[in-house]
């Protein structure tokens, strides 16, 4: 089962706008990476700095099964080709997309479940693109949003769009609840 890790490139967005301190964020990253590895999940990340990369490093430390790195072939608009090279160290298999625009549209769809820890413009783009995958591509990707790392829930208009055609997303309020939901979905999908 593949889990896409979504989150901001900067920890400060989370500690600045929520009750979580930077040490809380680091503790979550450590616990989440370890949990994913110990429970035999595969993970999908954007090849870039930030929360997803940090989770992937911990995941690898605990002998995680496989990291898929979504990486744009073209860096025309955003010249990041050299900047992202260090982040490839955790990637076992590269998933090429045509551009950074396509990365936001595809990252979550390469997984069975997307977990969002915190929000940023890039994270919102990843989440919002799920709507189009649900509506037009019949995507089954589930979305779990870790509420303690958000300043508030999503706007009701966005929530309604994400529930199009019965596709559900959910908020979780604790790390224990996140683990329970992931194990629940894993059990259901393995039947």
Annotated domain spans of the chain:
2-189
- pLDDT (0 to 100) of residue 87: 80
Binning pLDDT at 50, 70 and 90, where does residue 149 land? Answer: very high
Q: How confident is the model over 62-91, as pLDDT tens digits?
A: 999 999 999 877 655 555 566 667 788 899
CA angle, residues 20, 109, 11, in degrees to nearest 5: 20
- Evaluate whether 61 touches 146 at the Cβ level (below 8 Å): no
Whole-prediction pTM = 0.92
- pLDDT (0 to 100) of residue 161: 84
CA 102 – CA 30 distance, rounded (Å): 29
Q: What is the mean pLDDT of the segment spanning 175-184?
A: 97
CA 57 – CA 115 distance, rounded (Å): 17
- pLDDT (0 to 100) of residue 85: 75
Give the chain's mean pLDDT.
88
CA 105 – CA 98 distance, rounded (Å): 11
Q: Per-residue pLDDT for 155 more than 60?
A: yes
Spatial neighbors of 2 by CB under 8 A, at least 6 apart, are 41, 42, 43, 44, 68, 110, 111, 112, 113
Q: What is the mean pLDDT of the segment spanning 142-156?
A: 94
Which CATH number is correct for 2-189, 3.40.50.450, 3.40.50.1100, 3.90.230.10, 3.40.50.1220?
Answer: 3.40.50.450
Return the percentage of the chain with pLDDT > 90, whole number. 57
- pLDDT (0 to 100) of residue 80: 58
**Pick from 5, 14, 4: nearest CA to 148:** 14
- Evaluate whether 44 touches 4 at the Cβ level (below 8 Å): yes
CA 95 – CA 162 distance, rounded (Å): 25
Q: Per-residue pLDDT for 3 more than 60?
A: yes
Q: What is the mean pLDDT of the segment spanning 162-184?
A: 89
Q: Per-residue pLDDT for 102 more than 90?
A: no
Q: Per-residue pLDDT for 167 more than 80?
A: no
- pLDDT (0 to 100) of residue 191: 79
Starting at the earlier edge strand, list the strands of the sheet with 113-116.
93-97, 67-72, 42-46, 2-6, 113-116, 142-146, 169-172
Q: What Rg, from alpha-carbon coordinates, does the chain have?
A: 15
Backbone torsion region of residue 89, taken as left when φ is above 0, otherwise alpha when ψ lies between -120 and 50, otherwise beta: alpha
Q: What is the mean pLDDT of the segment spanning 135-140?
A: 81
- pLDDT (0 to 100) of residue 96: 86
- pLDDT (0 to 100) of residue 131: 84
């Amino acid at each position: 089962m593949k889990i896409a890790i979504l989150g901001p490139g900067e920890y400060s967005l989370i500690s600045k706008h929520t009750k979580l301190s930077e040490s809380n964020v680091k503790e979550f990253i450590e616990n989440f990476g370890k949990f994913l590895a110990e429970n035999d999940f595969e993970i999908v990340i954007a090849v870039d700095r930030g929360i997803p990369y940090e989770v992937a490093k911990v995941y690898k430390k605990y002998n995680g099964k496989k990291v898929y790195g979504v990486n744009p072939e073209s860096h025309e608009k955003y010249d990041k080709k050299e900047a992202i090279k260090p982040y490839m160290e955790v990637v076992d298999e590269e998933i090429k997309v045509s551009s950074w625009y396509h990365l936001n549209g595809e990252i979550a769809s390469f997984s069975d479940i997307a977990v969002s820890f915190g929000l940023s413009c890039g994270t919102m783009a990843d989440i919002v693109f799920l709507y189009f995958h649900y509506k037009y591509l019949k995507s089954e990707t589930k979305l779990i949003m870790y509420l303690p790392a958000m300043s508030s829930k999503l706007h009701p208009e966005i929530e309604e769009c994400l529930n199009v055609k019965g596709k559900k997303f959910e908020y979780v309020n604790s790390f224990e609840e996140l683990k329970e939901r992931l194990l629940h979905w894993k059990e259901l999908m393995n039947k």
